[in-house]
């Protein structure tokens, strides 16, 4: 039995889950993982565990322009972690051979989206080093987690995840997160090119924005936090995020938590896939750009996409029927069933549409229920990530700031009031005029010399607002 106050975690698993299911803004959990064995997973340790196995690194330029460095614009290297460590430390190319064409002072490397269940498939005993059960998700461990290893400057373009919410543990080095609420979607100029299921990218390079082409970005409200080792960041559903490695080597893990809202999101993603694949596949081959993200295996056929769409709709309607039944008889509700954290784009690339319905049930798409908290217990153990303009406000000395100072030390005396977020925000903005402003501002700069492209058309057709409306119409038809 624990009898030392220092060994007691600030939140019980039940309380942590209530917080996760109630939070409407990003927040950092502190002192929740001090006994997790995964804290020893630095790059050197992982290199020894992988024992010469190669993994794929994405290579990007440290000095970019105003355009985002999408995955379609990067080059890729297959290398061992030992070779990666030699490259980052400036050792001779004979030791870091796969990286010999890349100067570490000019390039960064990122082993991103590495599913632990895959890269450690022959070492399953280490899955238990990750203990998401402390956050109220019993049985969730490394098998449902993703590994990220990068050098300084390695980044993920600004995007939102269509499915679930996210828990991220920083293990080695620091990462800086730029987060934007769902209400900022229009200001971030959403695009589905490059296309991958479950990710909506921003056309804006948020660290070096082109305000002439994307003037609405001035209205975006960034929440910025530097995540330190041992801290866990909670990213709510549909929050945009751009993530960059601050230190020479960074290691982090995350787990995506399925939500009930994902049932409808899968219908919306199926509609998007059908439209994007149909239109882009119809382009003249000589004019086709690299529109399919490397995480997507291939452009699926129209027939396959329609099957997938029908499967998603059927699954959603069945879920609604079950939900109504459970509401009438609460005793039938499965409160222990949990969802897979794997994003379909990264791990279910071979899913057959005809199997979609059964697989959604096997994955447990009904998430664990937890009561909503009326007041979030912010304090030194749970730090809200505030908008940049509010960091110096009267909320308290504990508010997360956008510099790289250690949160644990600078928030020891912090005092926090109620969360400033007034309600759950939707990715679909109610301000249709803003969408019109975006379209105008994005085209007027060069209107005299620019013709509408396929991608311009798609940016309108598969805009999140439009897709949500189409999904509502389709689901209403099926209910009749």
Least confident window among 100-114, 227-241, 283-297, 361-375? 361-375
Of residues 300 and 403, more confidence is placed in 300
Cα–Cα distance, 455 to 460 (Å, whole number): 9
pTM of the model: 0.83
Neighbours of 332 (CB within 10 A): 10
pLDDT at position 480: 67
Q: In terms of Cα–Cα distance, which of 179, 176, 180, 343 is closest to 250?
A: 176
pLDDT at position 64: 83
Please give the average per-residue pLDDT across 282-291, as a whole number.
Answer: 83
Residue with structure tokens 């220092």?
Answer: 6
Of residues 324 and 352, more confidence is placed in 324
pLDDT at position 106: 96
Residue with structure tokens 């440290």?
Answer: 62
Q: How confident is the model at residue 438 (pLDDT cuts 50, 70, 90)?
A: low
Q: Which run of H or E residues covers position 442?
A: helix 432-444
Q: How confident is the model at residue 437 (pLDDT cuts 50, 70, 90)?
A: low
pLDDT at position 357: 41
Q: What does the radius of gyration of the chain's CA atoms come to, in whole angstroms? A: 22
Least confident window among 17-21, 281-285, 370-374, 400-404? 400-404
> Which is it for strands 55-61 and 175-180: parallel, antiparallel or unpaired?
unpaired
Which sign, positive or negative, has the C-alpha torsion 211, 215, 218, 222? negative
**DSSP state, 172?**
E
Least confident window among 159-168, 267-276, 437-446? 437-446
pLDDT at position 56: 98
DSSP labels, 103-155: -TTTEEEEEEEEEHHHHTTT-GGGGGG--GGGGT-TT-SGGG-EEEEEETT-E
Q: How confident is the model at residue 145 (pLDDT cuts 50, 70, 90)?
A: very high
């Amino acid at each position: 039995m624990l009898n030392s106050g220092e060994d007691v975690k600030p939140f019980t698993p039940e309380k942590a889950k209530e917080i996760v299911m109630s939070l409407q803004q990003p927040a950092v959990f502190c002192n929740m993982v001090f006994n997790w064995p995964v804290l020893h997973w630095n790059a050197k340790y992982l290199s020894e565990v992988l024992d010469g196995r190669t993994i794929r690194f994405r290579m990007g330029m440290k000095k970019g322009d105003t355009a985002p460095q999408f995955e379609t614009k990067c080059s890729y290297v297959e290398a061992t972690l030992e070779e990666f460590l030699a490259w980052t430390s400036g050792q001779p190319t004979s030791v870091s051979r796969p990286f010999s064409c890349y100067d570490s002072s000019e390039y960064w490397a990122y082993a991103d989206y590495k599913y632990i269940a895959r890269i450690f498939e022959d070492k399953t005993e280490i899955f238990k080093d990750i203990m998401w059960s402390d956050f109220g998700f019993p049985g969730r461990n490394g098998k449902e987690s993703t590994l990220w290893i990068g050098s300084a400057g390695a980044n993920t373009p600004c995007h939102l995840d269509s499915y679930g919410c996210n828990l991220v543990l920083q293990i080695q080095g620091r990462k800086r997160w730029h987060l934007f609420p769902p209400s900022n979607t229009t200001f971030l100029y959403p695009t589905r090119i490059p296309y991958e299921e479950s990710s909506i990218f921003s056309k804006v390079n948020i660290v070096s924005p082109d305000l002439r082409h994307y003037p609405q970005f001035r209205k975006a409200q960034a929440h910025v936090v530097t995540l330190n080792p041992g801290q866990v960041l909670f990213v709510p559903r549909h929050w945009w995020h751009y993530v960059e490695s601050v230190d020479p080597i960074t290691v982090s893990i995350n787990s995506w938590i399925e939500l009930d809202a994902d049932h409808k999101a899968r219908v919306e993603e199926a509609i998007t896939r059908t439209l994007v694949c149909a239109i882009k596949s119809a382009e003249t081959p000589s004019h086709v750009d690299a529109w399919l993200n490397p995480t997507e295996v291939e452009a699926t056929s129209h027939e396959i996409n329609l099957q997938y769409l029908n499967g998603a709709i059927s699954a959603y309607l069945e879920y609604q029927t079950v939900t109504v039944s459970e509401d009438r008889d609460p005793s039938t509700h499965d409160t222990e069933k949990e969802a897979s954290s794997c994003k379909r784009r990264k791990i279910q690339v071979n899913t057959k549409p005809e199997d979609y319905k059964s697989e959604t049930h096997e994955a447990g798409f009904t998430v664990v229920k937890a009561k909503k908290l009326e007041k979030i217990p912010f304090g030194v153990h749970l730090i809200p990530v505030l908008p940049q303009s509010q960091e110096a406000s009267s909320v308290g000395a504990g508010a997360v700031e956008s510099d790289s100072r250690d949160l644990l030390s600078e928030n020891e005396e912090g005092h926090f009031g109620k969360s400033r977020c007034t309600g759950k925000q939707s990715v679909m903005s109610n301000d249709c005029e803003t969408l019109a402003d975006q379209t105008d501002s994005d085209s007027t700069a060069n209107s005299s010399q620019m013709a509408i492209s396929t991608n311009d058309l798609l940016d309108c057709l598969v805009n999140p607002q439009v897709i949500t409306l189409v999904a509502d119409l389709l689901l209403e038809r099926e209910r009749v």
